[in-house]
Structure 1
Amino acid sequence: MSTRYFIGRTGQLADGTPSAIAKRAATTPLMLGPLGFAGDEQTDRRFHGGPDQAVHYFPAEHYQALAARFPALRRFGPGDLGENISDTGWLEDEVRLGDVFALGDCRIAVTQARVPCHKIAKRLDEPDAPAFVADTVRLGWYFRVIEGGMVELDTPLTRIDSDPSAPSIATLWRLRLDPAADPAVISWLASHPALGRAWRAKFAQRAEWLERNPPLFR
């Protein structure tokens, strides 16, 4: 599968909830700016969009696992879970925080995992889908835009820089959920410049709590 690009405007889910989770494949070159691709929307800006979540990537491989778990989802495919970019070959246990990717002359950097929300359940009409996505770490991730520009539709996604000391997206997700995570690692992530600001704030809160409540045993 070649790299594919998706954009979408706000519509309504089956229950009337406004959402732009349903994206459609782009048919013309896309301008990429600090807030993402031109022509793309994020409906609820409290939780979606902004510089740290400018572009969403979701591995195309995950649709097969979703369809195997929820047979009714065989009608869904790339673009249906809000992703702007989809391809095969990049997965959560291989992509690291801060990895820099090239899209032609554009540069984008990995900031955080995508947190599955209730709109996935409503979009797929499967109440258990968000938990399945979270538990199996089939999350996708977000990029911030370092250098914008025009992206042609046949432009491949290419990783050009990676810090081997940075956690993978899968590890980052598990650290976010692990109540017994190493306080030193949590503190390090709280100030990591590549991490999205909202996630840094969450890790900072964890670090402060752990400092006040050190574990008795480790």
Structure 2
Amino acid sequence: MDHPGDLMPAQLVAVNVVHELIRGPVRWTAIDKRPVTGPVPVGELGLAGDQQCDKRFHGGPDKALYAYAEEDADWWSTELDRDIPPGLFGENLTTHGLDITHALIGERWRIGGPKNGIVVEVRSPRDPCGNLSARVGIPKFHRRFVATGRVGAYLKVVSTGRVQAGNRIVVVHRPDRGVSIAEASGAA
């Protein structure tokens, strides 16, 4: 089921993988994600060609992918009076037409077709560190980011396959009740 009120199907705007590792304020980071073209294989631990530096906070089965909504990036673009291109916040998947901020923990999405697409499950909100602040060039931005609840979602890969920009996203399961990403982030 799609979220009520959707006029157009949700879709994947960009698939982003690490461009280069950079030295953050405290440690190395793979936050420099940029869009790639064509289909990208997705395994249980994330996108082929991507990596995470600090596995204590990023990666693993429950944080295999990080999704961020284009609508939230557009909100930040207005708020900061600057362009927010796909991948700037370190997300692997940039979406459109999917309310990630109000997605429920345990919600499942199918991205792409039933034969080669993937199924993911919303597991937790992102809790960014100072590397996000350094990436956008605004001191302590990561705290401001969290305060809005517009933090995006970490996803578990339930069914592996391939994804690419333009893939349709369908909410295939939404719990009857639960905690939203914004609530779990402490912002709501």
Change (3 A) 1:142 1:16: closer
Shift of 1:13: 4.6
Secondary structure class of the residue paired with 2:70:
coil
Contact 1:27 1:153 in 2 (8 A): yes
Q: Structure 1 residue 170 and structure 2 residue 167: aligned?
A: no
* Structure 2 unaligned residues grouped into runs of 5+: 1-9
Change (3 A) 1:64 1:81: same
Secondary structure class of the residue paired with 1:157:
strand
Look up the equivalent residue of 1:139 and give its one-letter code: V
Contact 2:76 2:84 in 1 (8 A): no
Among residues 103, 109, 112, which one is paired with 1:101 in the alignment?
109
Deviating runs (4+, > 6 A) in structure 1? none
Q: Which residue of 2 aligns with 1:38?
A: 48
Secondary structure class of the residue paired with 1:61:
helix
Separation in structure 1 between the aligned mates of residue 148 and residue 85 of structure 2, nearest angstrom: 18
Q: Which residue of 2 aligns with 1:68?
A: 78
Cα RMSD, aligned residues only: 2.2
TM-score by length of 1: 0.72
Alignment deviations for residues 55-109 of structure 1 (CA, whole Å, 9 cap, x no partner) = 10011122233233333xx143111111111122223443111111002232110
TM-score by length of 2: 0.83
Among residues 145, 159, 168, which one is paired with 1:147 in the alignment?
159
Separation in structure 1 between the aligned mates of residue 100 and residue 165 of structure 2, nearest angstrom: 24
Q: Structure 1 residue 24 and structure 2 residue 34: aligned?
A: yes
Q: Structure 1 residue 54 and structure 2 residue 64: aligned?
A: yes
Across the two proteins, how many residue pairs are aligned to each other? Answer: 174
Change (3 A) 1:75 1:16: farther
Identity of aligned residues (%): 28
Shift of 1:149: 1.3
Shift of 1:14: 7.2
Greater helix share, structure number: 1
Secondary structure class of the residue paired with 1:120:
helix
Among residues 137, 154, 168, which one is paired with 2:149 in the alignment?
137
Contact 1:96 1:167 in 2 (8 A): yes
Q: Which residue of 1 aligns with 2:3?
A: none
Separation in structure 1 between the aligned mates of residue 60 and residue 157 of structure 2, nearest angstrom: 10
Secondary structure class of the residue paired with 1:58:
strand
Separation in structure 2 between the aligned mates of residue 26 and residue 161 of structure 1, nearest angstrom: 28
* Structure 1 unaligned residues grouped into runs of 5+: 179-218
Separation in structure 2 between the aligned mates of residue 87 and residue 102 of structure 1, nearest angstrom: 12
- Name which structure has the greater RCO, CA cutoff 8 Å, separation 6+: 2
Change (3 A) 1:49 1:10: farther
